[in-house]
Amino acid sequence: MLNSKRARKSLKHRHAEEGQGLVEYAMILLLVSVLVISILVLVGPQVGSTFSAVNSTLQGAPSALPSPTPCVNLPGGGNPCNPH
């Protein structure tokens, strides 16, 4: 009988520790979330202006891709655009 009381008390204590661990993880998650949101609010406008500057610079730059070749009939009846 004494052993069963100890076992129940041990199980209750273990259950309380599991609950405490979950609360600690939730608090850490909350803290990290608040930090990330704060950083995004503070740095967000600067990042947006940097992306806008890069975008406008790239729109004015010439394309690095080669221009597509026009579809022409090849000697011998081949057409690279329509091989059928």
pLDDT bucket at 26, cuts 50 / 70 / 90: very high
pTM greater than the 0.85 cutoff: no
Q: Nearest-CA neighbor of 48 among 36, 60, 56?
A: 56
Q: Rounded distance, CA 65 to CA 49, Å?
A: 27
Residue type at 56 in one-letter notation: S
pLDDT digits (tens, 9 = 90+) for 41-54: 999 999 999 999 99
CA dist 9 and 44 (Å) reads 52
Average pLDDT of span 51-75: 77
Which two structure tokens, joined as six digits, stand for 26?
């939730």
**Could you tell me the sign of the dihedral formed by the alpha carbons of 19, 21, 22, 23, in that order?**
positive
27-41 residue pLDDT tens: 999 999 999 999 999
